[in-house]
Every structure is written in C-alpha cells, then in structure tokens.
Homo-oligomer: A and B are copies of this chain.
C-alpha cells in the first residue's frame, strides 16, 4: 500500500476534522500539525505527532507528501496556500467563489515554479456541488441549474446575528424552500428569486434587558444577510441554544433540469444532495480524498494548480483500476 503522509496546517475545526478523517483511511498517515500559535499550546488528539511552528515549515518539507491548509478563506488561505505551495504539495478549501480565479493564478504560479501539485477549493461547495453542476451541464446542455443550501448552520450569518446590538449569542439556519425544490423536480424550470429559494431561521439569546423587538427588526432588515429573505427570529435562553443548537449540520441540493428529444419533449432531472451532521468533518473527508489524488499527480510530475474539475475520479480511490472496474462500475 502506498502511504500518503499528511501535514495539517491550522488546528481549528477543519484541522481537527482532517486529523480524524485520516483514521478512516488506512493508506494515510498524519505527519505533523503546524500552527501560527505557540506549538506548545497545541495538544493534538493523535499521540506522538509533532507540532511545528508555521514559520519553521521550510525545515520539514521532506516530512509530508501533501499539506492540507486548514485556514479561513478571508485572510489565511490567500496568503498561506501560495506560500506553502512553494514548499509542499497542497490542498485547500478556499470558498470565496468570486476570488477563485485570482487565488488559482497565485497558487498555480507558486506550484509550477517549485514543481509542486496544488489543489484549491476542495470541499462540498465549492467541490462536490461544483462537480454536480459540471456533470449536469455537460450531460443536459438544454437545461437549467438550481442549487439549494440547507438545512444548515451558516457561520457567516450566525456571526452577523452576534454583532447585532443587544444580542448575547445566536445561530442561523439556512432552510431551502420545499415548494421551490418540488417545482424544479417537476421539470417546471421556474425562475426563482432569492426569497423564493431559501428562508432564514435565527435562534437568538438576548442580553438581559435588551429590546427584543429592536433586535428582531435589526436582524430582519440587515442588508446582504437577511433583508432579501423571509427571516424568522426565535428568542431562546443560552441553555436552550447550547443544548439544541450546538451542532454544525449542513447540506443542500444541486439540481439540473433539462430536456431532450426532437422537440424537447422529454424531461430529465439530475439531483445531487448532501445531508451532513458535521459540515467541517464532511469537508475534511473530501479534502483527504483529494489529498490522495494530489500525492499521485505529484508522483506523475503533474504540477501546478488544479481543481476538482481536473481530477479523474479514479485518483481519489486507494483501489486499482482493475478493482474499481470490477467492484464499482
């Protein structure tokens, strides 16, 4: 068995998820964890694994076949992934859709210059949902795409709630509108507004003495985050929030509705959906599978930056071509 040695950079939700996901993959080994904090302050769940300072990583390039960059897309990844692509083969989960072309160019240049293989935007959206969109578009060119998210916790919207005056804590769920999904599934190809596709459910803990009516108003009218949606605000106690809303579930649906035939008389629906108890653990499960592909591509001297679109599915599997054809085709 070809063992892939994985380095984790960043030990938050995502880094911890990678550490766990490695255990489910017998051909993977955790090589090290790296952090920008004081390495002594990090206690890995895995016994015996070294923790390095981010700044010292240039000394450890021989220790990992692939490094998974587990930072945030806002500020960490745009800097770290190109930096690390000069030292290692890398994978990240960069998810700021609008900035993907720029991030791709930076990582591609760094990886090609140093003869490394890099992958960006690996996860479920971007990632598996992007693949569902691509396959759907190529198979049914006469058609329309729909992506629905949820039911799930949006970190960005939860953060936005917590910044509202008088709010002590809060959690936001994005909920897809079933009537809209059913119309798509019937092949109606509806034009859907933002409001028709998703609703937003907020669970909010008010500070003692805060004006709840004002909090509700401030949330519902918040531009970019809530004003274009039908939003419901539920006030709960901190205990209730901790007890009932501590998970980070998510998921969603990618649908391609298309037609074929001499007159477009035959309707077809392709639907890909995810229902996830833990958003970060699923994301890291995808990252690990693609780390296997990156390690192989590096051995084949296929350098530069890739996305999920560029990876033949067989590269994700520890099985041989013969085994895959016999068991899964």
Contacts and interface: CB of A to CB of B under 8 A. Distances in A.
Contact of A268 (B100, B140, B277, B325): B277
Contacts of A135: 128, 131, 313, 316
A104 interface: yes
Contact of A307 (B100, B134, B139, B329): B329
A62 interface: no
B139 A285 contact: yes
A277 B274 CA distance: 24
A101 interface: yes
A55 interface: no
A270 interface: yes
Contacts of A260: 17, 20-21, 24, 277-278, 281-282, 284-285
A131 B128 CA distance: 12
B25 A329 contact: no
A314 interface: yes
A43 to B, nearest CB: 15
A241 interface: no
A276 B286 contact: no
A79 interface: no
B45 A262 contact: yes
A271 interface: yes
B261 A278 contact: yes
A7 to B, nearest CB: 20
Contact of A325 (B140, B261, B282, B307): B307
Contacts of A20: 260-262
Contacts of A141: 24-25
Given A20-B261, A185-B275, A101 B325 contact: yes
A44 interface: no
A325 B104 contact: yes
A21 to B, nearest CB: 7
How many copies of the shown chain assemble into the complex?
Answer: 2
B272 A272 contact: yes
Contacts of A268: 274-278, 281-282, 285
Given A130-B328, A260-B20, A309-B324, A266 B285 contact: no
A311 interface: yes
A269 interface: yes
A233 to B, nearest CB: 28
A268 to B, nearest CB: 5
Most buried by B among A101, A266, A307, A311: A266
B308 A138 contact: no
B286 A139 contact: yes
Interface string A12-23: 000001001100
Contacts of A286: 139
A18 to B, nearest CB: 11
Interface string A51-95: 000000000000000000000000000000000000000000000
A312 B316 CA distance: 11
B269 A137 contact: no
Interface string A293-315: 00000000000000111111110
